[in-house]
Amino acid sequence: MSETWVYDFEHADKGNKALLGGKGANLANMTQLGLPVPPGFTITTEACNAYNAAGTLLETIWQQVCHAVNQLEKKTGKSFAGSGDPLLVSVRSGAKFSMPGMMDTILNLGLNDNAVEVLTQKTGNPRFARDSYRRLIQTFADVAMGVDIRLFENELIAIRGERQDYEISAEELDTLIERYKGIYQKATGSSFPQDGFEQLRLSVIAVFKSWNNPRARTYRRENAIPDDIGTACNVQAMVFGNMGMTSGTGVCFSRNPATGAKGVFGEFLINAQGEDVVAGIRTPEHIDQLAQEMPEVAKQLFDTIERLEHHFRDMQDIEFTVEEGKLYMLQTRSGKRTGAAAVNIAVDMVEEGLVGVEQALMMVEPQHINQLLHPQIDMSQAIPEPLDSSGLPASPGAAVGRIVIDSHEAVKICEADPKAKLILVREETTPDDIDGMIACQGIVTARGGMTSHAAVVARGMGKPCIASAPSLVIDEHKGSITIGGKQFNSGDWISMDGGRGTVYEGELKLKQAEFTGKVGKLLGWADAARRLKVRANADNPRDSRQAVEFGAEGIGLTRTEHMFFEPERLPHVRAMILSDTEEERRKHLDSIFEFQKEDFKGIFREMTGKPVTIRLLDPPLHEFLPHDEQEINDLINEVFGGVTDEKRSEVKARIEAMRESNPMLGFRGCRLGIIYPEINEMQVRAIIAAAIEARREGSESIPEIMVPLIGAKSELAKVEPVLRRVASETMESYGEKIDYLFGTMIEVPRAAVTADEIAELAEFFSFGTNDLTQMGMGVSRDDAQRFLGHYVNMKIYRDDPFQSLDQEGIGKLVEMACKLGRQARPKIKLGVCGEHGGDPDSIDFFHRAGLDYVSCSPFRVPIARLAAAQAEIRSRGASAAAVSSTA
Amino acid sequence: MSETWVYDFEHADKGNKALLGGKGANLANMTQLGLPVPPGFTITTEACNAYNAAGTLLETIWQQVCHAVNQLEKKTGKSFAGSGDPLLVSVRSGAKFSMPGMMDTILNLGLNDNAVEVLTQKTGNPRFARDSYRRLIQTFADVAMGVDIRLFENELIAIRGERQDYEISAEELDTLIERYKGIYQKATGSSFPQDGFEQLRLSVIAVFKSWNNPRARTYRRENAIPDDIGTACNVQAMVFGNMGMTSGTGVCFSRNPATGAKGVFGEFLINAQGEDVVAGIRTPEHIDQLAQEMPEVAKQLFDTIERLEHHFRDMQDIEFTVEEGKLYMLQTRSGKRTGAAAVNIAVDMVEEGLVGVEQALMMVEPQHINQLLHPQIDMSQAIPEPLDSSGLPASPGAAVGRIVIDSHEAVKICEADPKAKLILVREETTPDDIDGMIACQGIVTARGGMTSHAAVVARGMGKPCIASAPSLVIDEHKGSITIGGKQFNSGDWISMDGGRGTVYEGELKLKQAEFTGKVGKLLGWADAARRLKVRANADNPRDSRQAVEFGAEGIGLTRTEHMFFEPERLPHVRAMILSDTEEERRKHLDSIFEFQKEDFKGIFREMTGKPVTIRLLDPPLHEFLPHDEQEINDLINEVFGGVTDEKRSEVKARIEAMRESNPMLGFRGCRLGIIYPEINEMQVRAIIAAAIEARREGSESIPEIMVPLIGAKSELAKVEPVLRRVASETMESYGEKIDYLFGTMIEVPRAAVTADEIAELAEFFSFGTNDLTQMGMGVSRDDAQRFLGHYVNMKIYRDDPFQSLDQEGIGKLVEMACKLGRQARPKIKLGVCGEHGGDPDSIDFFHRAGLDYVSCSPFRVPIARLAAAQAEIRSRGASAAAVSSTA
């Protein structure tokens, strides 16, 4: 163990977060860059461990702290415990990892009855000096000594009454300080320490003790942070922006965080502290104004900002204070930005030579691209306060329209005026609302989660949606809604941002998505950088076209069951399901054949030259059957040409008999085609026929036929010969050949562990990570709401495993299947078509696992293109690091 | 390739099944043992391959066949193609593996218009000679020449009319032969060959061709038999037992196959062929009678049988024929036997020094033990023909009782007369029948499979059950049943054998199960031989006692949910589920605590000195709630003390909200205890308190606490500290300590692949192979009936994976978990508590996977003891083989 327990910011090893904590290391970093940082020092994490081991602050540590304070006095020319210009300091905890539960910051340490008078003289502001003092007493008592903070708040309220804090006079503050001292005395048995060193000693001990408070322990356990790493303690000289007209404070960005435009962007207040900005009492001035008021300081600030941006090679978010004409940098960090800004900054910085293409690609978060895919609220206008900002951001993009609370009404309005702009506002949506959802620009619901009907359907449609807006109440009777406490009628204009979950009153201006210009350039770089191909999941020509526009390189999943639900086909499908013989089933399947062929042909046309993976029928057949009385009657009429009591009870009994207790694990997927091979035969015939016919029209068709829910090679061995035979027969009937691939989904855990056997027959694997997650974790997505949220909150699951792949568990199955599959068939094509194919973290995993492509919904294709590039760049970095560490 | 294509039985290499086929090798084996086997020869599998490669029978092969026939003529002194005593032969296919789909046997080859007359003279039986001839024509035409057999059958029916075959006269047979020849001529374009060599040549070609017929190809593909191994063809001289009073035929066993008693057991018929025995026209005589009628032959036969038993060291099943005073052995093989016989023979043979203990253990099938566990039909009485013998043997054992077709009626009868013996006969059973099933001796149902309600419950109760008796029709109205076409009324006596699926009229005598004597000795040997421990699954003291009696060495699974269903507890359980706050839940759980403690105490008492694994609550809570109107009203009354419309709709809405689309993957298992830790707390408190209290009474309690449905270490990390704390608190409250283990089920695939992490916290794993199979294969056991049967029939699954572990798939997950678990915790205890724990094949797998114990239902414990010993013996054999092959 080192004998040095305390390091000042100038000499600390800025890379050693384990010793200095994150905050201490950052302060050292800024200081050593030559920035004007208020001086200070860090008491190390080892000192914390020593304290907690010994149960007392070692004398050697305390001596080093005192010495460091003396140095601080010398640097600042102020006096900590003496009678001159008072040195005030802040005390902050700071562990290696950012960690809630640790001790709060204490400001203005060093103030006492004497120093408060000196401060009053220096600032000419008795109210400020006294308010700082009473806050010190209160905070010190609370966080360092554990006195109940409510005791202080009660006194404050008693004096303040209905007024604001800043309306309390200096005299009243004197009274309050006396009462606070009384409370302190009563609660701790001692008077509030007038000696700054005593204040400091108790504060440092409190920081070290807080390492072991219950909240911190729980947090560490849940986040697997070791208990023995300790926290550091940072002591820093206070600076004041409210020392008069040559002082001030401000916040700025090195570029515009909303648009990315070049030039410093921010605001400041003369003669003010940071908390004044937060309190919103005075309106801050634009940062450009600083050049007028303090030209020297402004020049120094702007130069510093430019240096920082060059140093960190990223847009910076900076806090500064000017004390009597002297500039202090309090903080600098990468600035948060909108999607548009992120893209513009990244591309600009490449052009400015500040960063390379790889670095630029890493500067844009995939979620940023998501914002750009949909119309956005134009940030150049004045944005009002949202009515409600706590709804779930269920589907991104902004929309503006008139309120409509009834889906049929929405359809009617659109029929009358196809250009009508509507926002559908519902308690929640059901399949009956589909037409209404199509008719409107966006959807807001009062209930339902991220996977509710509204959310899922809206994301599929690429429409903005907010689910569970907490303040929304709908009065269907009156045709009005209340949101954010304000009432609106149907027909009133509102605006919404589905990416943020915010609803606004009135008609805001929107900005359309575009993939040209800088976004186009960035995505072009991504395409050049990535190894993973990106495909889309699309079930029809419209979605396929959309996918190609967004840059998809193929279709990774065409579900054929949606086609079965179309109104002109459903009666045939139902009749087929209720058939008693193979012959009858074949007859009804023949009626569907032409439809399916045309479906596939439309998709092949859009996807010319790109592979199209078509999955054979997957869902349990009972999903196609009705369950309510009227629909059953209709079905019997359609299928048997008339309803009798006998027929009705027979059909009802059959529908009942097809119900399953766990349909997820029931009679579905390849099991259908094994028991009823005629279904597969019809579908394969339609695929091959469509591919040939589309080619005759000039499209290059590349079909890939995919069998769902395979768990064993023996299943594939049943299905394959049938498919191969039908494909050959179909080609013969056309007198031409077409190449196709035959493969399988890997979505059953057993398939993953026997993938070597399956790969003997399958030419490709497509991971169905949704079902693999359901079966592998034993979690039904439809039923998980009762515990999944708790699991994520309790950190039992890192994320919702249906949003982001469970890499440590389900990921093992994926890796195993890739390895085994490649063992048996080295050139096997590997992809993923579960929803994880559009999730950036999961994409990074799929890249590392060695997949050939990911497939996701068309609207996520651009996100996936960027995420795939980042995965590649990250793995290059990792392998470069591995090379250099072995060198 | 060898230049020898044909081997006679005396000189063939009897060990070379690849060359001679299984049948050829066996005939060679018997011949070379010096047994009087009718002479013959084998045409090799290589000849078959040569034929199929060339598309024609090579001249060199045919010459060797002709030469072998000439040798046969010399050995027998008969003439094949000449005019003397005719040499007749049989032709049989025979591949290395027994293989359906190959060509049927052709008998009496060599008969023609001339030879049939010589045969008539020799046998003095013109009917026999002509019948043999017409059969030859028909069989030869069908199997060798592919003529439609129906053409012959139509002619036969035209002549026979309503009579039996044997009532057709010799003259009618002459007519039939002429007509058969006509059919043959018309269908093949040639006349039926009179030349024996031509008959033989065409037959041999037909055998070789049949190797590639579609049924054989399919069978090979499904059973992974290579296509290039070919079949051999066996040609053997016919012998006739119907040559007069010094001829005869018989079947016998070297010991009694029903009881195992020493001494030859069998029957014979003088002047008869094998088919006469089958036709049942004459009643055969007891084998002892042979000594009276043909003392020389009898002595030779008995000596031969003794030699055979010594040679094969197992009880033999023998077919013999005497032709004119000369004994011929036609077949010998290991004899099928009852469970009682198997045990007696195995133990006797050890005592006789014929076999060692290991060999004896391998001679008894685990299923044999199953027969002995339950009362059996006493085989010493005369057993009538069964009324129905095709029901599913759903639960073993025999029962005798009066028919009752209503469960309430059964309960009433038993209340009036507790000694009443009843057989419950139902369409199928539901949970409403439980009391009726308890009241009766056995259950017969008309519907349902091996996993139907009746089957599962009956096996659990250890009661005999037949499911799906095909001829059973129940007329509830009349209170009568029809079975095997015969009508019975309620109250009539029937007998049943649930191990065989047979129902008998009247009251048969039963024999009680016993585990003393030879069974006890055998199981003792098994216990000494095995490495795997055997535990039982038991939920109450009664089952625990039964388990100990059957030799269980602990409880591997106590389900606690059954305890929740007891009538005095269910209201508290339901109130707990409907509670809004943790406080309310704790209150209701406290009401259940004492009951649970007593439950556990009862089990600890029975299991003194043996470990008891108790699983914390597992099923979804909605399983405890009612769904019908009346029950819901009762519930509201119980819980809220009165029913209002509002309350009812509230409670119904809550019950509805708890429904799950896939309850199997829903809110159950450890998820319950994580969201509601108070449930786990109550159960752990009850377990530890019960263990201490039972110890105070003198029992040695060894509790093992098991958490179900763990999928991730992070779940266990939530549960463990709660359990450890509660356990410590409970011990403190008693002022004494007790050792306990803390472990988890491995039943979620994710748990298997992350078992190393889980083993950091779990002190034992118990594989829940039922759920692991469901999730790992994506098959819901409740819903699988629509395809599982087809899957087994189509050989997609080797077995029903819920009966016998899917070793190639789910087994991989088990092996992985064992390996990873031991990596992380070398001394981790590994067991299995799924139903596979009682299946011999699965036990063999678990032995090889390195588990420490299996746990199964009490009634399967003796089976598991034997199976575990066999697994050990088999693996010793395997490792000995491995050693010798490397030596």
A499 pLDDT above the threshold of 90: no
Mean per-residue pLDDT, A800-804: 93
Q: What is the SS3 string spanning A641-660?
A: CCCCHHHHHHHHHHHHHHCC
Residues 212-241, chain A: which have Cβ within 8 Å of B?
Answer: 221
Is residue B582 less than 8 Å (CB to CB) from chain A? Answer: no
- DSSP at B240: -
Residues 765-784, chain A: which have Cβ within 8 Å of B?
Answer: 771, 774-780, 782-784
B279 pLDDT above the threshold of 60: no
Kindly give the residue spans of alpha helices, DSSP state H, lying in B530-644: 541-549, 561-564, 570-577, 582-606, 629-640
Q: Give chain B's count of helices (H) and strands (E).
A: 35, 30
- DSSP at A616: P
- Closest in A664, A715, A794 to B665, CB measured: A664
Is residue B786 less than 8 Å (CB to CB) from chain A? Answer: yes
Distance between CA atoms of residues B227 and B492, nearest Å: 57
Distance between CA atoms of residues B440 and B405, nearest Å: 11
Top-ranked range on mean pLDDT: pick from A655-664, A828-837, B452-461: A828-837
Is residue B748 less than 8 Å (CB to CB) from chain A? Answer: yes
Distance between CA atoms of residues B324 and B304, nearest Å: 19
Distance between CA atoms of residues A91 and A389, nearest Å: 35
Contacts of A662 in chain B (CB under 8 A): 662-665, 774, 780, 782-783
B887 pLDDT above the threshold of 80: no
A276 pLDDT above the threshold of 70: no
* B85 in Cβ contact with B118 (< 8 Å): yes
Distance between CA atoms of residues A584 and A580, nearest Å: 7
Q: Which residues of A are catalytic?
A: 453, 833
Distance between CA atoms of residues A113 and A127, nearest Å: 14
Q: What is the mean pLDDT of chain B?
A: 90
Mean per-residue pLDDT, A384-412: 89
Residues 793-852, chain A: which have Cβ within 8 Å of B?
Answer: 794-797, 806, 808-810, 812-813, 816
* Interchain proximity B666–A753, CB inside 8 Å: no
* B730 in Cβ contact with B795 (< 8 Å): no
Q: What digits encode the pLDDT tens for the residues B730-776?
A: 999 999 999 999 999 999 999 999 999 999 999 999 999 999 999 99
* Interchain proximity B711–A778, CB inside 8 Å: yes
* Band of residue B1 on the pLDDT scale cut at 50, 70, 90: very low
Lowest average pLDDT, out of A399-403, A625-629, A668-672, B879-883, goes to B879-883
Q: CA B474, B480, B481, B487 torsion: positive or negative?
A: negative
B481 pLDDT above the threshold of 90: yes
Which helix (H) or strand (E) is A584 found in, with range?
Answer: helix A582-606
Contacts of A667 in chain B (CB under 8 A): 783, 786-787
* Tokens encoding B393: 């043997």
* Interchain proximity B674–A771, CB inside 8 Å: no
Is residue A632 less than 8 Å (CB to CB) from chain B? Answer: no
* A595 in Cβ contact with A628 (< 8 Å): no
* Band of residue B82 on the pLDDT scale cut at 50, 70, 90: confident
B364 pLDDT above the threshold of 70: yes
Question: CA dihedral defined by A813, A816, A818, A820, rounded to 10 degrees?
Answer: -140
What is the reported pLDDT for A551? 94
Contacts of B774 in chain A (CB under 8 A): 662, 665
Phi then psi dihedrals of residue A357, to 5 deg? -60, -45
Interface contacts A/B by beta carbons within 8 Å: 172
What is the reported pLDDT for B539? 92
For residue B527, list its beta bridge partners.
none
Q: Is the ipTM of this complex over 0.85?
A: no
Q: For the sheet containing A486-489, what is the strand order? A: A473-475, A480-483, A486-489
* Interchain proximity A665–B663, CB inside 8 Å: no
- Closest in B665, B777, B813 to A711, CB measured: B777
B281 pLDDT above the threshold of 60: no
What is the reported pLDDT for A1? 45
Residue A343, SS3? helix
Lowest average pLDDT, out of A246-250, A550-554, A689-693, B334-338, goes to B334-338
Phi then psi dihedrals of residue B95, to 5 deg? -90, 180
CA-nearest of B597, B591, B673 to B638 is B591
Contacts of A797 in chain B (CB under 8 A): 712, 714
What is the reported pLDDT for B664? 93
Type of residue found at B572: H
* Band of residue B641 on the pLDDT scale cut at 50, 70, 90: confident
Q: Which residues of B are catalytic?
A: 453, 833
Do strands A316-323 and A398-404 pair parallel, antiparallel, or not at all (unpaired)? unpaired
Residue A216, SS3? helix
Nearest Cα of chain B lies from the Cα of A749 at a distance, in angstroms, of 5
* Tokens encoding A171: 């005299």
**Exposed (0-12), middle (13-18) or buried (19+): which is A53, by Cβ within 10 Å?**
exposed
What is the reported pLDDT for B280? 52
CA-nearest of A465, A464, A414, A455 to A435 is A414
* Interchain proximity B750–A666, CB inside 8 Å: no
CA-nearest of B856, B829, B833 to B743 is B829
Is residue A715 less than 8 Å (CB to CB) from chain B? Answer: yes
A775 pLDDT above the threshold of 50: yes
Contacts of B725 in chain A (CB under 8 A): none
- Closest in A667, A787, A809 to B783, CB measured: A667
CA-nearest of B575, B565, B578, B564 to B657 is B578
Contacts of B794 in chain A (CB under 8 A): 674, 718
- Closest in B776, B784, B797 to A749, CB measured: B776
Nearest Cα of chain A lies from the Cα of B663 at a distance, in angstroms, of 7
* Band of residue B450 on the pLDDT scale cut at 50, 70, 90: low
Contacts of A782 in chain B (CB under 8 A): 660-662
DSSP output for A759-778:
TTT-SEEEE-HHHHHHHHHT
* A616 in Cβ contact with A708 (< 8 Å): yes
B-chain residue closest to A749, CA distance: B776
Nearest Cα of chain B lies from the Cα of A877 at a distance, in angstroms, of 28
DSSP output for B693-753:
HHHHTT---EEEEEE-S--SHHHHHHHHHHHHHHHHHHHHHHT-----EEEEEE-SHHHHH
Distance between CA atoms of residues B631 and B636, nearest Å: 9
What is the reported pLDDT for A600? 97
Distance between CA atoms of residues A426 and A405, nearest Å: 6
Distance between CA atoms of residues A790 and B318, nearest Å: 70
Scored b (16 or more CB within 10 A) or e, B442-479 reads bbbbbebbbbbbbbbbbbbbbbbbbbbbebbebeeeee
Q: What is the SS3 string spanning B127-184?
A: HHHHHHHHHHHHHHHHHHCCCCHHHHHHHHHHHHCCCCHHHCCHHHHHHHHHHHHHHH
Site of tokens 């266990």:
B716
CA distances from A260 to A268, A290, A337, B165 (A): 20, 21, 8, 101
- Closest in B712, B747, B791 to A796, CB measured: B712
* B650 in Cβ contact with B743 (< 8 Å): no
Rounded to two decimals, the pTM is: 0.80
Nearest Cα of chain B lies from the Cα of A708 at a distance, in angstroms, of 12
Widest pairwise Cα distance in chain A: 104
* Interchain proximity B780–A749, CB inside 8 Å: no
- Closest in B749, B754, B790 to A775, CB measured: B749
Residues 650-709, chain B: which have Cβ within 8 Å of A?
Answer: 660-667, 669, 671, 674-675, 709
Nearest Cα of chain B lies from the Cα of A631 at a distance, in angstroms, of 22
- DSSP at A736: -
- Closest in A662, A747, A784 to B664, CB measured: A662
B-chain residue closest to A719, CA distance: B796
B-chain residue closest to A797, CA distance: B714
CA distances from B499 to A268, B63, B258, B338, B468 (A): 91, 54, 15, 11, 14
* Interchain proximity B714–A795, CB inside 8 Å: yes
Contacts of B753 in chain A (CB under 8 A): 809, 812-813, 816
Is residue A786 less than 8 Å (CB to CB) from chain B? Answer: yes
B615 pLDDT above the threshold of 80: yes
**Exposed (0-12), middle (13-18) or buried (19+): which is A874, by Cβ within 10 Å?**
middle
Distance between CA atoms of residues A27 and A31, nearest Å: 6
